[in-house]
Amino acid sequence: MDEHEGGTIIPAIQLGVRRAWRGIEFGTREWWREYRRFIHELPVPGEAWLEPERVQAGEEVYLKLSFRVGARGIDRYGHIAVETPFRTLQPLAPDTVLRSRTPYLSVSCTDPRSHLDVTCSDGIVDILVQAYPLEEGEIVTVHFADPLGNPIRMPEQSLRYPFPVALDVDNSGRYRRIASFPVLEVTGGYPRCLYVVAPSAVQPGEPFRVRALALDGFDGNPSPGYSGHVRVLCTDPLAQVPCEAEISDNYLALSGVVLRTPGVHTITLLDEHNGLIGQSPPIGVDFFPEGWRAYFGDIHGHNEHCDGRGTVDEYYLWARDVRILDFCALTNHVEGAKRLPVEDFWRLDIAKANDYNSPGNFVAFVGFEWGGWTVWGDKCVYYLEGDGPYFPANEPVADTPGKLFARLESRDAIVVPHHTKYGGRTVWDEHDPRWEPVVEIYSIWGSSECYGEHSVQAAWERGYRLGVIAGSDDHTGHPGTPPGGLACILAGELTREALFYALESRRCYGTTGARILLDFRVNGVPVGGVVRNTETVEVYVRVAGTAPIEKVEILRDSEVVYSADGDGREVTLRWREVRGRGRYYYVRVAQADGHLAWSSPIWIE
């Protein structure tokens, strides 16, 4: 034993020991364990602030955080820990040989006697007070980019990034938070393009709205404060659309736009003064014989409540107002091993989904992720109604897919397996068609379409009638943003009920993030359906892309049986097979820009 502090005898081996924070298996972190505890405890004295507080995404900045010690002070061998959005930080040592384009982290104190030692691990800066205790009023400064070296690059995504600060004031190993965390506001940069979105399918003469904003890059962040005069160009010569418009405070909503000529059209906005241009995805006029609309959305993502970033409001506002999605869902993990205990956020997640749900304008589903991971694979659960319980995969009541399905009895719910061949791979032996009408074929993990026993094709080969969607599995608070995918649902109206029942009917398809229009039929039966009592198979495919179409493939029982090269952004093809022996058919579309689309299959009985 070595010293007495506050009546506690501290083993000598613990004195002056650096703290390295580690990631733990199954996607959790040591820091989150501390966070879940100290976020509910009374704070300790002390305050922190950032300079600057507002930066542009991707900007290189000499950022620093200052911490003023509170009334309690910090004992010798105490710690100051700061969570940052920077996953790798390199401390500056006396013998460091400076390298080009490399930022170096350093710490300093108004009392040089304290002798601070810094460790950077898992995005956490941990400062050890090695010598003289820190008294009230002393200021510790963390230079995330020491002026001797290069500035540090800010996060690429616009968001508000909190820097949680916690103290181990007496070397007890127990960290306590300060009352208020400093926040870095990251905004979009200079506008480089216009992002234009219109409904993907309309009827002739039907009024609709076109929305647009300026982004700091293709699929980038909104550029704050942009205003500009734009010309409006439309490929429909009979369109009712203004010739010019004004974008004010980076938002444009053109109401009452009407297209009259059946076919596929686009609307282009051109700001000649600022050199900006943007074109809408294809707008199909009378595209589907049933009069369906094509609604695009992302129903798989996470925020700061578990292992992502951003508040619930930031998540839904990005989906609705930046990516201009038609529908969305926040699907946080509910196993309790992430940043916050589930009981802390579940009711808030439900309330916010209901707040943002606006039939006819934007649909938000209540959902959660069931994390079977290495045993059963991961699945997301979605409720039709605006409420429902959560069921963790690490509790006996729902620790297998069968138990999960049993807990969903008497509820209107859909379960969607995802990244079926990556990470937590899906065990298809546990599939239940009553609850799993569709599968997520693509996300930031990549395509799960083919190759291997956990692929989507493997499920189809078992005879499972699974439709397909795509999603992002976003963890940055930015749903609907590439490289994540998008789901397209064909429905008559934009409501929870219409979208939910369309998913149950497999009337949907997935893309890698492009709003590709796709109509696929076999013997007149639309996507996701079943053709009965036929010897002749007649396939109809109509595609309208967001870029030139490279190839359209028809697959029978997961084998390509017909392929057509594209010539422009639209392809219509018909293919006929007499006495076809296929059990199911589906379509895969490839664009010249690398984007893909997959239809749900159509089955033959």
For 116, other C-beta atoms within 10 Å of its C-beta total 20
Residue 1 domain-assigned?
Answer: no
The residues that bridge with 194 in the sheet, in sequence order, are 214
600: helix, strand or coil: coil
Both tokens assigned to 541: 């495919």
Residue 292 domain-assigned?
Answer: no
The residue from 161, 187, 213 where one domain ends is: 187
Domain count, the chain: 4
pLDDT score, position 5: 42
Residue 7 domain-assigned?
Answer: no
pTM here is 0.95
Task: Note the pLDDT tens digit of each residue in 312-344.
Answer: 999 999 999 999 999 999 999 999 889 999 999
Only one residue has tokens 């949907």, namely 508
Does residue 245 share a domain with residue 106? no
Does residue 527 share a domain with residue 506? no
Residue 572 domain-assigned?
Answer: yes
Does residue 203 share a domain with residue 277? yes
Residue 4 domain-assigned?
Answer: no
Does residue 532 share a domain with residue 451? no
Compute the distance between CA of residue 125 and CA of residue 139 in angstroms, rounded to an integer.
16
Q: Could you tell me what percentage of the chain is helix, strand and coil, using 3-state DSSP and rounding each to the nearest 5?
A: 15, 40, 45
Domain with 509, as residue range(s), is: 299-513
Using CA atoms, how far residue 282 sits from 19, 268, 419, 544, in Å, is: 54, 11, 28, 6
Which stretches of 272-421 are assigned E, i.e. beta strand? 276-279, 283-285, 293-298, 327-330, 363-371, 378-383, 413-417
Does residue 508 share a domain with residue 522? no
- Answer for the pair 80, 46: CB distance below 8 angstroms, yes or no: no
Residue 8 domain-assigned?
Answer: no
Q: Which residues of the chain have pLDDT under 50?
A: 1-7, 10-13
Domain containing 369 — which CATH number? 3.20.20.140
The residue from 480, 513, 546 where one domain ends is: 513
pLDDT score, position 24: 83
The residue from 137, 159, 187 where one domain ends is: 187
Residue 291 domain-assigned?
Answer: no
Does residue 129 share a domain with residue 23? yes
Of 244, 255, 253, the C-alpha closest to 207 is 255
Domain containing 171 — which CATH number? 2.60.40.740
Compute the distance between CA of residue 109 and CA of residue 142 in angstroms, rounded to an integer.
9
Using CA atoms, how far residue 142 sits from 35, 154, 187, 488, in Å, is: 21, 16, 22, 46
Does residue 429 share a domain with residue 495? yes
Compute the distance between CA of residue 453 and CA of residue 421 in angstroms, rounded to an integer.
8
Residue 564, Cβ density class (10 Å: 0-12 exposed, 13-18 middle, ≥19 buried): middle
Does residue 486 share a domain with residue 409? yes
Residue 440 domain-assigned?
Answer: yes
Using CA atoms, how far residue 121 sits from 20, 86, 91, 128, in Å, is: 6, 10, 11, 14
The answer to whether the Cα torsion of 90, 92, 97, 98 is positive or negative is positive
Compute the distance between CA of residue 505 and CA of residue 526 in angstroms, rounded to an integer.
10
Does residue 532 share a domain with residue 431? no
pLDDT score, position 340: 94
Domain containing 246 — which CATH number? 2.60.40.1930
Residue partners of 568: CB distance under 8 A and separation at least 6 = 548, 549
Does residue 432 share a domain with residue 471? yes
Does residue 179 share a domain with residue 81? yes
Does residue 279 share a domain with residue 406? no
pLDDT score, position 95: 87
Residue 293, Cβ density class (10 Å: 0-12 exposed, 13-18 middle, ≥19 buried): buried
